[in-house]
A and B are shown apart, each in its own frame.
Chain A
Amino acid sequence: SQTIHQWPATLVQPVGSPLSLECTVEGTSNPNLYWYRQAAGRGLQLLFYSVGIGQISSEVPQNLSASRPQDRQFILSSKKLLLSDSGFYLCAWSGTGFGGNTEAFFGQGTRLTVV
């Protein structure tokens, strides 16, 4: 069966420090991968999605970047964190290929607090 791992679960970082959040998927190949952010009391904001190694699409301009060095690994990074980067970050994967019935599966999330 497929599983998704996301870590760390919580993180407190000072302003201006770098960030690296990692997400890995097991039990499937060539998944679509996603990073979402959920600010306190707000909905999901899609940050990045990827359909393959090295293929990253950014939904909104921001202080963050994403990379996909391996098929089932997705990394969210920042060189210098801002206070506004605080939030709950969720990694997700879905199946690929055309056709419907493509649901997304989520990790448990990372609570990032920038101080």
Chain B
Amino acid sequence: GNSVTQMEGPVTLSEEAFLTINCTYTATGYPSLFWYVQYPGEGLQLLLKATKADDKGSNKGFEATYRKETTSFHLEKGSVQVSDSAVYFCALSPSWGSGGYQKVTFGTGTKLQVIP
């Protein structure tokens, strides 16, 4: 079946540091890939997405590139802010013809804490 693996957290960074959160996946065909963010006490919000190989999703200074050859979708940001402190989830949605339902599969989440 499909699966998503994220790096273990928590990740603690100083403000303006560079961020990388690793995400790799296992799926047949060409799934769509997503990053979601969850701020304390809230539901998840879509941060960015990519629907085909070599696509780059970007939003609010965050970027992630769909790498088919390494089955990865790592999240990056050049300069994090305290307001970026949250839990980040990598997720995938199956592709056409892969069979089964359009069930979205999530990773376990990575908590990011940015300190001033």
- Which A residues form the contact surface with B (CB < 8 A)? 6, 32, 34, 36, 42-44, 46, 49, 51, 57, 90, 92, 94-109, 111
Contact = CB atoms under 8 A, between A and B. Distances in A.
Contacts of A44: 44, 89, 106, 108-109
A101 B104 contact: no
B43 interface: yes
Nearest to A51: B101
Max chain B C-beta neighbours (<10 A), residue from A104, A105, A109: A104
B96 interface: yes
Contacts of A98: 96-98, 102
A103 B93 contact: yes
Contacts of A6: 43
B95 interface: yes
B93 A100 contact: yes
Secondary structure at chain B's binding surface: helix, strand, loop or mixed?
loop
Contacts of A107: 43
Contacts of A104: 34, 36, 44, 91, 93, 104
A95 B102 contact: yes
B93 A106 contact: no
17 contacts: A6-B43, A32-B103, A34-B104, A43-B107, A51-B101, A57-B101, A90-B43, A92-B104, A94-B93, A100-B32, A100-B93, A104-B44, A104-B91, A104-B93, A105-B46, A106-B36, A107-B43
A103 B104 contact: yes
A76 to B, nearest CB: 15
A103 B34 contact: yes
A94 B93 CA distance: 10
A97 B101 CA distance: 8
Contacts of A109: 41-43
